[in-house]
Structure 1
Amino acid sequence: MKKKIIIFDTTLRDGEQALQASLNSNKKIQIALALERMGVDVIEAGFPISSPGEFKSIESISKLLKTSKICSLARCLKKDIDTAAQAMKHAAESRIHLFLGTSNLHISSKLKKSFNEITDMAVSSVIRARKYTNDVEFSCEDAGRTSLHNLYKIIEAVIDAGATTINIPDTVGYTTPTQFKKIIQNIFDHVKNIHKVIVSVHCHNDLGMAVGNSISAVEAGARQIEGTMNGLGERAGNAALEEVIMALYVHQNVLKKYTNINYKEIYKTSKIVSQFCNMPISINKAIVGKNAFLHSSGVHQDGVLKNRKNYEIINPIKIGLNNCKLNLTSRSGRSAVEHRMQEMGYHKNDYNLNELYIDFLKLADKKGQIFDYDLEALAFFKKQQNTEEYFKLEYFDVQSKLSGLSVASIILICGSQTNIQKATTSNGPVDAIYQALNKATLYPIILKKFHLVANGEGKDALGKVDIVVQYKLRNFHGVGLATDIIEASAQAMVNVLNYIWKSNQVNKELEKLNK
């Protein structure tokens, strides 16, 4: 029989501690609701004694959660416990999470008490918390560096006092999976009343082993894993919940464990947390990174096209992604190029794959990543590479005011004709000039990416604008370079518009041939 693993999320508490600025109440609520949609069992919403704003956020969240249990953190102090209970008074279900340092280092240098004194503190705090709720969690802070004898003693005492969950944190990410697993096994073997509670783990990633330690603890009998989305947290962060959850899923037949997680919400929730916390996700981050399901090697791409299981242990659809991606670079093989051409709607008899692939490799060596329009240009415009562009920006003028409207006027040369347009927007000068260009071309495009970087240093640095737009389900990439970032932005869009025009011309020629 498979046993359920309780997923305890502390993104709003431990995760927020790592942010440069505190989250406002609205963002915390949105994250909490996203975590609930994902199926998280317990959401640690914060540390209410820390500030009035924190208290109000927890109070607001407690009123909204319907399926997830809300939890508040408290030190082993009367005021902390009372405040935690008060913040969650509207909750359908609540948990008070107590913590106290148990290692000799914490006891002597931080708490400056004896072990017997901190044991008494822990017991009296659990008893007080039980007056407010029948769900009390006790954390042995720095358990990874606490002597086993002391660990057994304090755990047994707080269980007798009424604790329902015992959390064993590797607070500073000190242990290895083998060491941590042994600690959990020893607790089960030597604490006589351990069967009365859920054993939880809370691992930090200082040595990069938070997820490994968490899974090893499950193997030893732990039934709750604490962590954060995207691995946010103090220093090197916490165990990344998306990694823990998918590790349990992939190895469910071996571990004999399951969760109540709605897997399709994982990717979306990760992005919400990243956006609201202003914490970008590393492109090679497991499960939710941009490259997690992206294949560049020609051998890998060929294998994925034949059977995705060759190089994917998780179907990206499982976590809410539509599909895997083939990153077209000089490492890509013929099969990947042919596959992308088919996705764009071209047939084998529309182009010469051997000639296209030779030209593709040459361009990829120079450019790096190859986009859809590059393939079309190589396949159908090789003889016209030196022809003039169809669209030329002859003139532009942008006027913008602080907290006001931006107005852009342009003169765009469209082949042999001149198109003059004007656009007004409240979204700034770049948006104004883009709207004017759209009016001139009438292309139904969607801006997917806008990236601005400075090339060089000082006042003479060039602004490089890198954009990706979607047009009829295809991505087109454009680059603009100028000392004026508005001009660079305009150049990038005109660059894209020319690629779209060329693509449309190709389609017209192919339609004639097919007729």
Structure 2
Amino acid sequence: MIRLVDSSLRDGMHSVRHSFSPEQVALVAAGLDRAGVDAIEVSHGDGVGGSSIQYGKAAFSDEALIEAAASVVQRAQIAALLLPGIGTLTRLQAAQRLGASVARVATHCTEADIAEQHIGWAAEHGMRAIGFLMMSHMIEPAELAVQARLMESYGASVVYIVDSAGAMVPRTAAERVRALRDGLDGATEVGFHAHNNLGCGVGNALAAADAGATWLDGSLRGLGAGAGNAQLEVLAAALERSGHATGVELFPLMDVAEDVVASLMERPQIIDRTALSLGYAGVYSSFLLHAERAAAKFGVEPRAVLMELGRRRIVGGQEDMIIDAAAQLAADSHPAPTGSSGSA
């Protein structure tokens, strides 16, 4: 059985500038619950506590949004994402009090050790603790498995491969799932979170399922950072056709995508040259809007900014470097005039 997790109300926040209201969250969550989705992730796009000048100010608090979602679901679990250094245990405790029963603790793929406190607390206090290894394309499968074992040792019952940049293809996604499946205890499940910047979101999730992943993320209409996430309603249909049971009712899922989420989107989730550049450069998907704004400010091309960020191997949490890269590109294209070379 594949468990489907919806990220429309967390990753999708990046696409709407973190503006969803409690009423909108409740409407989407109720529809997902009716369709039988296992878990619904709710928070700022960068997790609980992410509302800030650096990551983007949210229109409403994480707590208000989590409470709104929890108030309307009958079957689905509410999940909260936390990035150590952005979110705190206090925020996670508040999320649990308001109805979140799943804690997804996310770190860069080489920094699992910073999640020990948060995963441990969640596991000890009755939440399902899930480890999230972001930007998983940046290290080899064997190295990723080492990091996954750390999260498992802290109490994670599921460890995710997170293709934050949408840089993977089905082969590389499957290789990483197999490495975790072989390296973790048999009772620990493997998850996969796909972005669609190379157009491989659903294909990567299917490859992950075939390789042994039992938790898969998606979002309605693909709503998410960059070119969006694996489109949940499409993924559900493709999994069914591939012989993977999900327990999700497809038509109600399609209806909430079409009748509710489509009207909330600021723009369609498409793979334009900027989004494609994210995946090609291996850059964090949530950098898209930040890069577009920085490029406009300094009069450079967003694609050039993203390629420079990829060259520098900039990762989530280093959003300030987007401005630096754009400014440097502008300076390089318009060098300051040199002084006179004549002798005195």
Report what 2:235 is aligned to: 244
Return the match for 2:134 from 113, 130, 141.
141
Report what 1:81 is aligned to: 89
With CA pairs under 8 Å and 6+ residues apart, which has the higher RCO, 1 or 2? 2
CA separation of 1:269 and 1:148: change in aligned 2, threshold 3 A: same
Is 1:261 the equivalent of 2:243?
no
Higher strand share: 1
Is 1:50 the equivalent of 2:57?
no
Q: How does 1:102-117 map to 2 (within 5 A)?
A: 102-103=109-110
- Note the C-alpha offset of 1:278: 4.2
What is the distance in 1 between the residues matched to 2:164 and 2:151?
20
Report what 2:262 is aligned to: 274
Is 1:181 the equivalent of 2:174?
yes
Report what 2:289 is aligned to: none
What is the distance in 2 between the residues matched to 1:123 and 1:36?
31
- Note the C-alpha offset of 1:23: 1.1
What is the distance in 2 between the residues matched to 1:236 and 1:90?
31
* Aligned residue type for 1:162: G
Alpha carbons 1:59, 1:88 under 8 Å: kept: no
Alpha carbons 2:9, 2:41 under 8 Å: kept: yes
CA separation of 1:78 and 1:235: change in aligned 2, threshold 3 A: closer
- Note the C-alpha offset of 1:276: 2.5
* Aligned residue type for 2:104: H
What is the distance in 2 between the residues matched to 1:96 and 1:240?
22
- Offset from partner CA, 1:39-75 (integer Å, 9 cap, x none): 1100001133234622211122223322000000111
Return the match for 2:107 from 96, 100, 105.
100
- Note the C-alpha offset of 1:21: 5.9
What is the distance in 1 between the residues matched to 2:149 and 2:18?
39
* Aligned residue type for 2:28: I
What is the distance in 2 between the residues matched to 1:222 and 1:163?
15
Alpha carbons 2:141, 2:175 under 8 Å: kept: no
Return the match for 1:194 from 185, 194, 199.
185
- Note the C-alpha offset of 1:178: 1.4
CA separation of 1:79 and 1:228: change in aligned 2, threshold 3 A: closer
What is the distance in 2 between the residues matched to 1:124 and 1:48?
16
Alpha carbons 1:172, 1:204 under 8 Å: kept: yes
What secondary structure is seen at the aligned counterpart in 2 of 1:122?
helix
- Note the C-alpha offset of 1:124: 2.7
- Note the C-alpha offset of 1:280: 5.0
* Aligned residue type for 1:48: V
Of the two, which has the highest radius of gyration?
1
- Note the C-alpha offset of 1:195: 1.2
- Offset from partner CA, 1:106-156 (integer Å, 9 cap, x none): xxxxxxxxxxxx343122321122233340111111112223333122211
Report what 1:358 is aligned to: none
- Offset from partner CA, 1:335-382 (integer Å, 9 cap, x none): xxxxxxxxxxxxxxxxxxxxxxxxxxxxxxxxxxxxxxxxxxxxxxxx
Alpha carbons 2:233, 2:250 under 8 Å: kept: no
* Aligned residue type for 2:32: L
Q: How does 1:415-494 map to 2 (within 5 A)?
A: none
* Aligned residue type for 2:101: S
Return the match for 1:60 from 54, 68, 72.
68
CA separation of 1:148 and 1:251: change in aligned 2, threshold 3 A: closer
CA separation of 1:154 and 1:11: change in aligned 2, threshold 3 A: same
Return the match for 1:215 from 180, 201, 206.
206
- Offset from partner CA, 1:458-500 (integer Å, 9 cap, x none): xxxxxxxxxxxxxxxxxxxxxxxxxxxxxxxxxxxxxxxxxxx
What is the distance in 2 between the residues matched to 1:119 and 1:259?
29
- Offset from partner CA, 1:204-243 (integer Å, 9 cap, x none): 1111001100000100010011010111111111100111
- Note the C-alpha offset of 1:244: 0.8
- Note the C-alpha offset of 1:197: 1.4
What secondary structure is seen at the aligned counterpart in 2 of 1:49?
coil
CA separation of 1:120 and 1:278: change in aligned 2, threshold 3 A: closer
| TM-score computed with the length of structure 1 as normaliser | 0.48
What is the distance in 1 between the residues matched to 2:172 and 2:157?
25
* Aligned residue type for 2:16: L
Alpha carbons 2:66, 2:98 under 8 Å: kept: no
Alpha carbons 1:200, 1:222 under 8 Å: kept: yes
Report what 1:393 is aligned to: none
What is the distance in 2 between the residues matched to 1:19 and 1:78?
20
Unaligned 5+ runs, structure 2: 52-59, 271-344
What secondary structure is seen at the aligned counterpart in 2 of 1:175?
coil
Report what 2:215 is aligned to: 224
* Aligned residue type for 1:185: R
- Note the C-alpha offset of 1:158: 1.4
- Offset from partner CA, 1:242-290 (integer Å, 9 cap, x none): 11100111222xxxx20111122023111211113344588xxxxxxxx
What secondary structure is seen at the aligned counterpart in 2 of 1:160?
helix
* Aligned residue type for 1:227: G
Alpha carbons 2:101, 2:126 under 8 Å: kept: yes
Return the match for 1:10 from 7, 16, 40.
7
Identical aligned residues as a percent: 24
What is the distance in 2 between the residues matched to 1:120 and 1:214?
26
| TM-score computed with the length of structure 2 as normaliser | 0.70
- Note the C-alpha offset of 1:86: 0.9
Report what 1:158 is aligned to: 151
Is 1:27 the equivalent of 2:27?
no
What is the distance in 1 between the residues matched to 2:85 and 2:5?
23
What is the distance in 2 between the residues matched to 1:88 and 1:64?
16
Alpha carbons 1:85, 1:132 under 8 Å: kept: no
Alpha carbons 1:49, 1:84 under 8 Å: kept: no
Unaligned 5+ runs, structure 1: 104-117, 283-515
